[in-house]
Amino acid sequence: MNEQTRRRIEAAAEENYRQFNKSLLPGIENILGVRLPILHKMAKELIQQGWAEALEGEDLFYEERMLRGILIAQAPMSPEKRLESIRQFVPLIDNWGVCDSFCASLKPFIQEHFYEMLDFAAPYVEAAGEFEVRFGLVTLLSHFMLPETAERVFQILDNARHPGYYARAALAWALSVCYVKFPEKTRTYLERRDLDDFTYHKTLQKIRESRRVSAADKNALASLKRTAGEKAASASFPGGEKDWRAAATQEK
């Protein structure tokens, strides 16, 4: 970000919110504490006033990277330019907050270029980088859980095998959304897919936590539970049980 934009972001920082965000983003230290609605408001203003200049320079803070993603997703540019900007931005993502916000911000573009973006997102599920994989998965679960793309989505999910926590958590999240939308297909998928214990039990956990799944369906999931139990999920998170629970809550 350029210096003028950085000063605007710094002026909107809140210490209490910085501490809250740090508790949800283990290992991310360059947090100022600016709320997401404020960053969206800044993005709208920059789009009117000169967004390209704002993107000049490196990002020193978490919120700068977040704002950069919003601008890349929503500033006026050709489809070819936006796809190239997305392609350059995704490797810069190093946390779930920026990743998930960026995926959500892409909604208008995806609505206009639906199948092109499905083809664009699919290879990321097989990428080497943990957050590149998460980008692909969160894009799918946010925008492509529809009857006309269900079979393609399940085929793409078959290729998600990254061992990183945030990639596996995103896969579990995606499968829980699949269950809400396509319960029978998802149940069949869970029975045949060779998911690791963490991803498998986190998927069941997130389905049980969903308000869009009936009590009867939640009870029926008990027959799918493996003997390893949910301890495998929390044990696999580098921050331990507390951070796993916080991340799971934030992802709903």
SS3 sequence, 93-133? CCCHHHHHHHHHHCHHHHHHCHHHHHHHHHHHHHCCCHHHH
Q: What is the pLDDT of residue 227?
A: 60
Q: Give the pTM.
A: 0.88
Cα 212 to chain centroid distance, Å, stands at 20
Q: Which amino acid is at 33?
A: G
Whole-angstrom Cα distance, residue 209 to residue 206?
5
Q: Average pLDDT, stretch 134-142?
A: 98
Task: Quickly tell me which residue has 């269900």 as its tokens.
Answer: 150
Whole-angstrom Cα distance, residue 213 to residue 220?
11
Please name which of 158, 173, 170 lies closest in space to residue 203, comparing C-alpha atoms: 173
Q: Average pLDDT, stretch 117-141?
A: 98
Tokens found for residue 172: 């579990």
Whole-angstrom Cα distance, residue 213 to residue 210?
6
Q: What is the pLDDT of residue 229?
A: 45
Tokens found for residue 166: 């945030």
Residue 205 has pLDDT above 80, yes or no: yes
Residue 226 has pLDDT above 90, yes or no: no
Question: Residue 165: what are its φ and ψ, rounded to 5°?
Answer: -55, -50
Strand ranges in the chain using DSSP code E only, listed in sequence order? none
Nearest 10 degrees: Cα torsion 209, 213, 216, 217: -90
